[in-house]
Amino acid sequence: MEEITPAYGVGPLLAIAAGAVALLLLLIIKFRVHALIALVLVSVLTAVATRIPLDELVDTLMGGFGTTLAEVGLLVGLGAMIGRLLEVTGGADVLANSLVNRFGAKRAPLALGVAALFFGFPIFLDAAFVVFVPIIFSVATRFGGSVLLYALPPLGAFAVMHAFVPPHPGPVSAAEFLDADMGLVLLVGLVIAVPTWYLAGYVGGKMIGRRVDLAVPALSLAGASGTSSGTGDSAGGDSAGGDTATGDLPYPRFRTVIAILLLPMVLIFLDTGLNTLGTAGVIDADATWVQALRVLGATPIALLVTALVSLVVLGRGRSRASVENIVNGALAPVCAIILITGAGGMFGEVLYVSGIGQALAETLKDLGIPLILAAFLISTGLRVAQGSATVALTTTAGLIAPTLAATEGVTPLYRALLVITLACGATVLSHVNDSGFWLVGRYLGMDVKTTLKTWTVLETLIGVIGFGLVLVLSIFA
């Protein structure tokens, strides 16, 4: 849909936008309305308030919703399938235990964190942490010390990968809203995620773990010490996981897990690299072989290829019905996220068509506030107010997308950095209105005060350090 002639001036349009966000927060926080329903309702009311013609209103709403789902739904679904296959077949156990054995006792937290960086690429934070909990407890029981020494580094890794790196729904949806190149977002996300994890998740996590002495929860001790996925020698060496079984099936080998996790990244980087070489004139961008390889590296195709490889390699020895059940089980948990993201696209389309985005762009320019700073502050405010990182990220992306479109001279790198900026803002200050806050606290046996001193501090470090790195890189954008 094209932007209509605004019915109001800058002031009234910004007031409507502020009212829309306030109403959205009121519905979610006060009246406990599901985020999907709240976003759709607020989108309709905003469209009416800004006088989008009634004969175009439904097309505007559905256009934003459908376009977003077309771009995001497939990526999130395929990523969830890959992650679920790795989870069920013991990929997490193989990855963690092999690295712990290689790194040694003193570096066990580092080993768990590195394993989580790899394993967190296709898997959502909540699911990845639940799968990793027995491994964390097993390592903590084996080597001793506060369980937080072993829990916070992998938690930090899961958090940065979930927030900064496609195919997770946050960066994927933000990239689509802001028209950012997915390969570049993946590259920039990794460049920022790894040092952010090391400083916040590993160094910061170890500092927190040393200050807060937390024993392995009593109910987990038996399972942690007796789990077949522990840290015994059967998971080490070049054949890591090859002799360990889930039921009567062997775990995948360590190198198999690494290859599957790296495959989509390699393919996506292939597309970005060929595009760069073609733009620079090094290769013929219109050549058939270049176009074919770029199709292979397009994010949906790259994830499809990886999913097919995962089905064949990880599904070996299992019945077709069993493999089908595994991938079916991956889709249910992500449906809500996909639909909420689509509703965020609907809201963003209304903001664009109504002229609110242009009004915000003019205001930020007049005030001298850089868009990248405004994006971080808005995303942070929404995150703190209503708790959901997904809602904070998609709402902010929808709000600033029209503003970005109205800004001249925006480079591809700046767009990618803006995606990570939104993720940083949507990560900080996890507290009692965030489901992740309760998940981590419950599994680690922490009360609210302790969870605030540990998990909340960790998430805030990740958001602040990540945004600091974004600001440094933005100098070159």
pLDDT at 365: 62
Residue 375 vs residues 215, 302, 416, 417, 419: alpha-carbon distances, Å: 40, 30, 13, 11, 9
Q: Within a domain: residue 136?
A: yes
Using CA atoms, how far apart are residues 75 and 27, in angstroms rounded to an integer?
A: 29
* Range from 174-188, 312-326, 360-374 carrying the lowest mean pLDDT: 360-374
Q: Within a domain: residue 44?
A: yes
Number of compact structural domains in the chain: 1
Average pLDDT over residues 373-377: 90
Q: Within a domain: residue 5?
A: no
Average pLDDT over residues 77-86: 83
Domain that holds residue 158: 10-228+239-474
Could you count the other beta carbons within 10 Å of the beta carbon of residue 189? 26
Q: Within a domain: residue 18?
A: yes
Q: Within a domain: residue 94?
A: yes
Please state the length of the chain.
Answer: 477
pLDDT at 197: 95
Using CA atoms, how far apart are residues 35 and 391, in angstroms rounded to an integer?
A: 7
| pLDDT above 90 (res 82) | no
Q: Within a domain: residue 234?
A: no
Tokens of 120: 């967190």
pLDDT at 242: 39
Q: Within a domain: residue 181?
A: yes
**This prediction's pTM:** 0.74
Residue 467 vs residues 19, 34, 297, 376: alpha-carbon distances, Å: 28, 29, 28, 8
Q: Within a domain: residue 2?
A: no
Average pLDDT over residues 6-21: 86
